[in-house]
Structures are given as structure tokens and as C-alpha cells.
Amino acid sequence: MKLTIIGSGYVGLTTGACFAEVGHQVLCVDNDEAKVKSLQAGEIPIFEPGLESLVRKNVAARRLQFTTSTEEGVDHGEVLFIAVPTPPQADGSVDLSFIEKVAREIAQYLSSYRVIVDKSTVPVKTGERVASTIRRHAKPGAEFDVVSNPEFLREGCAVADLMRPDRIVIGGNSDRALALMQKIYEPFVAPVLVTDINSAELIKHAANSFLALKISYINALAEICEVSGADVLKVAEGIGADKRIGRGFLNAGLGYGGSCFPKDVSAFIAIAEQLGLPFDLLKEVQKINIRQVDRFLDAIREALWVLKDKKIAVWGLSFKPNTDDVRSSVAVNLVERLVAEGALVSAYDPQAMPKAAELPMASKIRFASSALDAAADAEVLIIATEWPEFASADLASLRSTMRTPLIFDGRNLLDPVAVRDFGFQYRGIGRGIVAERG
Ligand SMILES: NC(=O)C1=CN([C@@H]2O[C@H](COP(=O)(O)OP(=O)(O)OC[C@H]3O[C@@H](n4cnc5c(N)ncnc54)[C@H](O)[C@@H]3O)[C@@H](O)[C@H]2O)C=CC1
Ligand SMILES: O=C(O)[C@H]1O[C@H](OP(=O)(O)OP(=O)(O)OC[C@H]2O[C@@H](n3ccc(=O)[nH]c3=O)[C@H](O)[C@@H]2O)[C@H](O)[C@@H](O)[C@@H]1O
């Protein structure tokens, strides 16, 4: 089928490449000229395992193309996916101006039947607004349907998630549009859940908020473990073994970050409030998340006394491993706070340093050439992102290069016993029992 994706960022590009891979003719539109030029030249602006080869292969096969022209996009695809940003506003509610603008642009060029699909994460009832906006701006009698098709991919494994999703959610109220959507997803082996538009929109915010809630739950337990002398890893294993709970998203750490959970939890709180229903449970989720970094910093201050002029090594800047995305990264937030207190930070990340170098804090830290280089002469090493290469670090060399052997593991990546054998003092998250034994 001929498909158009409007917005060729993280979701647009990965989705477009996967649609092309299963045989669809995909045109990706973006209004960022430089981005489109580099995509046309075969340069992929994000680090995502498997994406580059997928894009190159499908561009070569002429199943995947890029343009800056929305008019061309509306002309090309019978189904138009909107994958533009839905960033947070100062009060936490969603800025829908990108969606509204695209709806108006589509309306301007509508000449024959099109299905307009919201793939961006949007508040419930946005589909209704998109439809009324298009109706207002299109020629009288223009034929179209609006569908909600939220995206559940995770960065770092986006291609695998898209090719084999747990489920595909399609919200719509027109048989014609729903039939086309089912046809698009036919090549993907995944259960398809068809709903009304409002339910589909709600599913996305509800899913992300529930996952954030799971993370905050285990982080709250981590604090109890620290105080009571228990090990949160064992507790997570014990409760996660219950199939009704599941082990996923029970990794205690510095809390959730990234371009989605923080904004989507805030958005869901604002959406509920607009409906007259305060969602205090999610406010607590946010508080616990903020508290994780506060507690971690308190422990570092406790160990070092003052942070000013202390050499601190930080491993990891991306918001999670296997991505170079630093948007709302907890690691970056931590570095900013250390720098604000006068610490001398040396940071290393296997992929995210070019993107981190564009952030305001970049001029105030040293970007190291390797994990060991970051740790040279440091008084403390902080692990902020659990990149696999950090787990296999040469502990003997690390010990000899650091000034004082102190490790704060914000992602419970290292084995405390092995680390202590090399003479380090170790502190993880929620590992009270381990601390006692040490
Ligand atoms: N990043 C992720 O892992 C996921 C994101 N989402 C949601 O998908 C949406 C998009 O997110 P990302 O792809 O991360 O954003 P992004 O910022 O990476 O990409 C958005 C793209 O849209 C382009 N754009 C903006 N206005 C445009 C217009 N009028 N015409 C054409 N292009 C335009 C931008 O230039 C940019 O390239 C958001 O609602 C997000 O919450 C959903 C699931 C996963
Ligand atoms: O809407 C979105 O954009 C996406 O948001 C998340 O995906 P993503 O943000 O890419 O990454 P996750 O793997 O969910 O991690 C999010 C954050 O939670 C943290 N996390 C995750 C799991 C865990 O057990 N503990 C934990 O602290 C990670 O370190 C990271 O900072 C969801 O998992 C996707 O389903 C969703 O499509």
C-alpha cells in the first residue's frame, strides 16, 4: 500500500522503515530540510540498532523515500500517519500545536479519500479535534476518516518492537478506514485490538503511566530495602515471579527519564484534571521519581562531604542503554546538578556524547575518550546508564586509575561482591543487605 508518514523523527523514521520492510511504498515527510537532506543522502540522525541497514535497504529498493513537501505526502499515501512531537507545556499539559498545524496542512491538500492516523501520543479526544479541524479547513465535501493508532516501541529496540509488537491498537469509527488499517498491519504477526478512537488514545497514556508507576513502586521499595537491610534485586525477583505482576519494569535505579514517560505522566495528570478527576496516584509516581536522584545525590554528598572541585566520573549520558537519545535523561540531569555544585565532571557514553555536546551543560564538563579515561584520578565513579560495556569494565585498571575507590551504581549494574574484591566501596540502589555485608 502507499503510505505517508508526516514527521520523520524517532517514531516516523522507524515506523516508515518497518512499513517499507514489509512491502509498503512509504513516503516520509519532514519540515526540517536539513534532516530530509541527510536522510536522502543515507545518513541516519539517530543511533538505533538495526535501523541504518533497514533504511538503506529500503531506500535502495525505492520502497522508502523522503520529502519536505506535505502536498506530495498527501498526494502519495492513501493513509497518512501523523508522527510529530507532542511536547509538554509549562503546566504539564500537551502542546498540540504541531498536530493542529499538520491537520490544517493536510486539509489544504485533500482532494480524494484519505485516512488520517494519529500515531503521536495525544490526549483522549484529540482525534475529534483533528477531524473537526480538517473539516473546517478542507474543501467542502472532502472525504476522509480519522484513526488513532498509538505507538508502543521502545528506543534501543525499536525495530524489533515494530516488527513484532505485543499488540497493535487501532481506534476508529469507520469500516472503510479500519479495513485499510487492518491491511497495512496484515504482514505483522501481532494481535490487533480494534477500539473506538477515545479508548485507543487513552490506552497509550494509561500504558506509559502504568509502566512509570511500576518503576516508582520498585524505587519506593528500594528505599525500604536500604533502611531495612534487604536486597531490592531479590525482592523484584520474588514479586516479579508472580505472572500477574511480571518482572519487567521492576529495575530499581535513578528513576525513569526519556522523551516519553516524564511527559506522558504529566500529560495524563493534566488530562484527568481537565476531566475533573484528580489523579493523585500519578502525582506520587512523579514525586518518587524525583526523590530517587535527590537521595542518590544526598548519599554522594554524605560520602564526599563537599562536591566543589571534586573530580567525579560519570558513566552514561543517554536516558537508557542502546540509544544516543539524551532528551530528559536522568544521567544528564544528575550531571547538571553535580556541575551546579562545583564538581569537576568527566563523562563517558558509548553513543550519546555527540548529542550531549549540544546541551548547555556541555561546556562545563569533560567528555572522556573511554570509560577508563573518565575515571582517571576521580574520587567517585557514578554509573548513570547501564550500558553493557560498563558491566565488563576492567576493575583492576579502574581501581588503579581512580584516586579513591568509590562507586555509586545508579543502575545496579555491577556485582557488589566482585567490585569489593577489587577494593572498592560500593553503593547501589536498594541494596541494604549488600551494604551491610560490605
Ligand atoms: N520516541 C519514542 O520512543 C516514542 C514517541 N512516541 C510519540 O511519537 C510522537 C513523535 O515523537 P518522536 O518521533 O520521538 O519525535 P521527534 O522529535 O523525534 O520527531 C518529530 C519529527 O516531526 C517533525 N515535524 C514537526 N512538525 C512537522 C510538520 N508540520 N510537518 C512535518 N514534520 C514535522 C520534526 O522535524 C521531527 O523530525 C510523540 O507524540 C511521542 O510522544 C510514541 C512512542 C515512542
Ligand atoms: O511512548 C514512548 O515513547 C515509549 O516509552 C517507553 O519507551 P522508552 O522511553 O523508549 O524506554 P523504556 O525502556 O520504557 O525506559 C524508559 C525509562 O524508564 C527507565 N526504567 C525502565 C525500566 C525499569 O525497570 N526501570 C527503569 O528505571 C529507563 O532507564 C528509562 O529512563 C515505553 O516502554 C514504550 O512502550 C513507549 O512506546
Q: Which atom of ligand 2 is nearest to the CA of 264?
A: 1
What's the whole-number average pLDDT of the chain? 96
**Percent of the chain residues topping a pLDDT of 90:** 98
- Backbone φ and ψ of 210, nearest 5°: -65, -40
Nearest CA to ligand 2 atom 37: 152
Distance 191 CA to ligand 1 centre (A): 25
Collapsed DSSP state (helix, strand, coil) of residue 12? helix
Mean pLDDT of 282-287: 98
Q: Measured from the CB, is residue 319 less than 6 Å from ligand 1?
A: no
Element (H, E) at 434: helix 432-437
pLDDT at 437 over 60: no
Residues ≥6 apart with Cβ < 8 Å to 156: 48, 49, 320, 321, 322, 323
DSSP E strand boundaries for 23-63: 25-29
Q: Could you read off the pLDDT of 298-324 as tens digits, one per residue?
A: 999 999 999 999 999 999 999 999 999
**pLDDT for residue 145:** 98
Q: Pick the ligand that lies closest to the CA of residue 153.
A: 2
Element (H, E) at 426: strand 425-427
Asked if 189 and 168 touch (Cβ cutoff 8 Å), the reply is: no
Q: Could you read off the pLDDT of 110-133 as tens digits, one per residue?
A: 999 999 999 999 999 999 999 999
Q: Measured from the CB, is residue 4 less than 6 Å from ligand 2?
A: no
Distances (CA, A) of 73 to 25, 109, 388: 12, 9, 40
Q: Pick the ligand that lies closest to the CA of residue 263.
A: 1
Q: Could you read off the pLDDT of 332-358 as tens digits, one per residue?
A: 999 999 999 999 999 999 999 999 999
What does the alpha-carbon distance between residue 365 and residue 349 come to, in Å, rounded to a whole number? Answer: 13
- Interstrand relation of 311-315 and 380-383 (parallel, antiparallel or unpaired): parallel
173 annotated ligand binder = no
Nearest CA to ligand 2 atom 1: 260
438 pLDDT tier (thresholds 50, 70, 90): very low
In 229-260, which ranges are continuous DSSP H helix? 232-240
pLDDT at 399 over 60: yes
What does the alpha-carbon distance between residue 165 and residue 179 come to, in Å, rounded to a whole number? Answer: 19
Distance 74 CA to ligand 2 centre (A): 32
For the chain, list the domains and their CATH numbers: 2-195 (3.40.50.720), 211-437 (3.40.50.720)
Q: Which atom of ligand 2 is nearest to the CA of 253?
A: 27
pLDDT at 435 over 70: no
155 annotated ligand binder = yes
Instruction: Tell me which residues are annotated as active site.
Output: 260
Instruction: Extract the C-alpha cell encoding 411.
Output: 543502575
Asked if 104 and 71 touch (Cβ cutoff 8 Å), the reply is: no
Burial class (CB in 10 A: 0-12, 13-18, 19+), 309: exposed
First-to-last alpha carbon distance for the chain, in angstroms, is: 61
pLDDT at 413 over 90: yes
30 annotated ligand binder = yes
Q: Could you read off the pLDDT of 62-77 as tens digits, one per residue?
A: 999 999 999 999 999 9
**pLDDT for residue 434:** 59
Q: Measured from the CB, is residue 9 less than 6 Å from ligand 1?
A: yes
Q: Pick the ligand that lies closest to the CA of residue 155.
A: 2
121 annotated ligand binder = yes
**pLDDT for residue 432:** 77
Distance 7 CA to ligand 1 centre (A): 6
pLDDT at 436 over 50: no
208 pLDDT tier (thresholds 50, 70, 90): very high
CB atoms within 10 A of CB 278: 11
Asked if 99 and 60 touch (Cβ cutoff 8 Å), the reply is: no
**pLDDT for residue 198:** 98
pLDDT at 274 over 70: yes
**pLDDT for residue 107:** 98
Q: Which atom of ligand 1 is nearest to the CA of 152?
A: 43
CA–chain centroid gap for 308, Å, is 32
